[in-house]
Structure 1
Amino acid sequence: MNTFDYEISLIKEIITKNKYKQEKIERQEKKVLAIKKSVGRDDFFKGKNVDLQLDITLVINEFEYEDEKELIFENKNYKVVRTYSRNDGLIELTCEEVKLV
């Protein structure tokens, strides 16, 4: 049985405007528990064909996911490449590691 053994931070970008109508991007971080899975062989090779390095799949409760496009897991930044809503109330987030320059 899979258990929620890992903590991840979902990153949501909110665009706000100051009193001068200038846009400002704020990053909100929300911590949730996750199950860590390997990327499936088919997804891995399909990703390679389109220059994606699919590194990890994380499973969280679907009600906690608000279409965030980035997350932090084990001190690494990831971009959410694909989501898959399961019929058990969970959602799979297939991610690519973002290499910071």
Structure 2
Amino acid sequence: MTYDHELKLISPGRVEKDEIGNQIPIDPIETPILCGLKSVGRSEFYNAATAGLRPELVFVIHAYEYNGERLLEFEGKRYNVIRTYETNFEELELTCERVASNG
């Protein structure tokens, strides 16, 4: 697997409360890493669709670079991580679905 693409893993960072007690994320931490890109398998796509998920892409990254982030950005679009799969000691697959709105 070649790592010819770049993505940003997004951690929430710190949280502040507004005047009525809502938690607002401040300064999310974005960590750029290199990744490989795979398509979602046919059976995985349809099985996920029955659970209300819409997997679009699978990113292959080095396992040591991942710290449980549930959000990432790739080519200006945000994705939620819906599944992780450790393929071997060094690699991890992140199955992701597109976030409906970036706002």
TM superposition score normalised by structure 2:
0.85
- Give the AA of the match of 1:90: E
State the aligned residue count: 97
* Partner residue, 2:72: 71
List 4+ stretches of structure 1 deviating above 3 A.
Answer: 15-18
Report what 1:11 is aligned to.
10
Listed as ranges, the gaps of 5+ residues in structure 1 are none
* Counterpart Cα distance in 1 of 2:60 and 2:88: 13
Structure 2 equivalent of residue 25 of structure 1: 25
Q: 1:15 is aligned with what amino acid? A: R
- CA RMSD in angstroms, aligned pairs only: 1.8
Give the match's secondary structure for 2:10: strand
How far did residue 85 of structure 1 move? 1.1
Alignment gaps of 5+ in structure 2: none
Question: 1:54 aligns to what SS in structure 2?
Answer: coil
Q: When you count strand as a share of all residues, which structure comes out higher? A: 1
Q: Could you tell me the percent identity over the aligned residues? A: 36
Bigger shift: residues 6-15 or 75-84: 6-15
TM-score, reference length from structure 1 = 0.87
